[in-house]
Structure 1
Amino acid sequence: MARPFDLDEILPDVIVDPVRLPRRQAGGSPQGLAVTLLADYTLRTRAWLPSAAIVALLTESGVTGGAARTAISRLARRGVIGSSRRGRSTFYRLTEPAAVALAVGGRSVVRFAAQAESWDGTWTLIAFSVPTEGDAERRALRAQLRWLGYAPLYDGLWVSPHGQPERAAAALTGISRGAMTVFRARGVPLAGVADRDPLDAWDVAAIGEHYRSFVDQWTPLLPRIGSGAVSGTEALRARTEVMETYRRFVALDPRLPMRLMPAGWLREHAREVFATVYDGLAGPALRHVLATVARFTAEPAPDISPHTVADLFAGVSPGACPADAPAPAGQPR
């Protein structure tokens, strides 16, 4: 079963040549929080932010200063961000490949609830066999399958209600050296035998509890958002956290139509709560980011703006190359 507690397995490093986006770990890793922070406010323009401002913003989410600086350094080595030296200060921004990958990922996060209702009744199945000595390969293959929305129905047979089997096959080809078969099929009820429903591949009850926990955690904040009583610091922290938490449902939820899920399935309600928090906190969070940046540079305010759930749903187009100070030679753009 796909248990929602195995986040290190379900949310692996995402490789988008030539960058490697960081693993989305339980509780939010410093690198993951940094990526979410930059994506939430600079995705459209890929604006440069002072390193000191990024560190300050991350510490407000409970990351130590040392861990924040280490996260920035590692993201640069991964090709997720590029650097530019201006006087005595260092500035960072998302590289173009990372921004494109994050825009695609953001769209999948906000669209998955709607896409579930268009299911045509067929399943994508992936059967594979990995050599006995290929433990690392097997783990990488399973992690990628989890990320693509598959779950193990039987040993070596993974299922998903989603189409695009060619996309899954392409993503897995570079990982597996063993045999693999990908096909689409409909289930056939069997009389007189133990007939296992493909939905049994997911721990539906545990996932439902995660939805309940998400709704219970964020609903009390809604009245304060409506009255404008959330401060900039709290707005930034909450907006980053709600995205970090909600995005995990893309990998956890089997994404079948609501009519096939247990009564009271909270997918739609959770999406409404997420959208209200994420959109409702955009204004105060942006003002806080701009105020923090101004503390660490005398340059004009960067061209940044938060996107809404509707923006992500429609598709955010990252800026290709803003007309500002170039990165030094050898640094990724």
Structure 2
Amino acid sequence: MDKQFNTRSMIFTLYGDYVRHYGSVIWIGSLIKLLKEFGHNEQSVRAAISRMSKQGWVKSEKRGNKSYYSLTEQGKARMEEASKRIYKSESPKWDGNWRILVYNIPENKRRLRDELRKELVWSGFGNLSNSCWITPNPLEEQIHRMVDKYGIRDYVTYFSASYEGMSHPKTLVDKCWDLNEVNEKYSQFIKEYSEKYYIDQNLIQKGEVSDGTCFVKCASLVHQYRKFLFIDPNLPEELLPDRWLGNSAATLFNDYHDLLQPRATRFFENVFE
């Protein structure tokens, strides 16, 4: 049992790593049973899924007297994007251009502005100056989805441009992101999880770990690693600092995930409906 994880956040992890591969829909009873493994009770699961439904990530459907929850189009797109970034094996290729998003959202829509900021950070944008955000990655699709979701087409201007100075592009990166702090977090992740990986590798080889334990360990691993989506802007190699630890962390994550996945999936399939 592991209650250090927020219920809603854990549900996102389960949808992203399991449910979306099984038709993107799950019976609430199965979800409750799966989350019980992490110490979450029925009440907190129902409250969290209801909140996710209000936010447009999932939708509910009654079949007889059972409630099923499936990902909406918005939910599927978010899971797809998150999965691409979580299971990536290398940094994205760069075409040398920067994408610039500028918004001018009125004061009476302040809450909307806060939501938009969170979304931009999640997508990997960096704040260059007040209301001006940049990224070297081609995120046009995400931007159009975001603009439509919040209905802010009238307030947003979007450019693709080349950087003409006044200094090195890496100086621009330093203004927008604290990559040293991200690197430090990668260092902590590697230290903690390489130790766990070797212990579990040994136990699994001896057949001393149950499927349920592998499920909890695997979902917890994804859950912890997923946090990097909120702080690592996924920059191209040319813009990363020397001795960047992101790639080593990704290799460790993928190896550990591959180790736990078969037994974890078996457990999930036994509970899933």
TM range (shorter): 0.7 to 0.9
Would the alpha carbon gap of residues 90 and 75 (structure 1) be closer, same or farther in structure 2, given more than 3 Å must change?
farther
Residue of structure 2 equivalent to 1:42: 19
The answer (yes or no) to whether the contact 1:39–1:99 under 8 Å persists in 2 is no
Residue in structure 2 matching 1:224, options 192, 199, 215: 199
Q: Which runs of 5+ in 2 are unaligned?
A: none
Correspondence for 1:94: 70
Q: TM-score, normalised by structure 1?
A: 0.67
Q: Given residue 258 of structure 2, which amino acid in structure 1 is its aligned partner? A: D
Instruction: Identify if the C-alpha distance between structure 1 residues 178 and 96 changes in structure 2 by more than 3 Å, giving closer, same or farther.
Output: closer
Unpaired runs of 5+ residues, structure 1, are: 1-26, 294-300, 303-333
Alignment of 1:80 onto 2:55: no
Q: Which amino acid aligns with 1:68?
A: V
The alignment's TM-score, normalised by the length of structure 2, stands at 0.79
Decide which of 143, 146, 159 is 1:168's aligned counterpart. Answer: 143
Query: What SS does the aligned partner of 1:225 have?
Result: helix
Tell me, in whole angstroms, the C-alpha distance in 2 between the residues paired with 1:232 and 1:246.
21
CA contact (8 A) 1:31 1:71 kept: yes
Please state whether the residue corresponding to 1:281 is helix, strand or coil.
helix
Cα 1:45–1:57 change in 2 (3 A) is closer
Give the corresponding residue for 2:121. Answer: 146
Q: 1:177 to 1:161 in 2, by over 3 A?
A: closer
Give aligned-pair identity as a percent.
23
Q: Of the candidates 261, 264, 271, which is equivalent to residue 250 of structure 2?
A: 271
Q: Kindly provide the CA deviation profile for residues 148-193 of structure 1, in whole angstroms up to 9, marking residues without a partner as x.
A: 21111111221101124465255235443764332122323337xx
Give RMSD over aligned pairs.
3.2
Deviation at 1:271, TM superposition (A): 0.9
The reply to whether residue 108 of structure 1 matches residue 87 of structure 2 is no
Separation of aligned partners in 1, 2:192 and 2:67: 35
Higher relative contact order, chain-length normalized (CA < 8 Å, sep 6+): 1
Question: Structure 1 pair 135/97, CA: closer, same or farther in 2 (3 Å)?
Answer: closer
Contact 1:128 1:178 in 2 (8 A): no
CA distance in 2, matches of 1:141, 1:48: 28
Greater helix share, 1 or 2? Answer: 2
Q: How many residue pairs were aligned?
A: 262
Q: CA deviation at 1:233?
A: 2.7
Change in 2 beyond 3 A, CA 1:83/1:280: farther
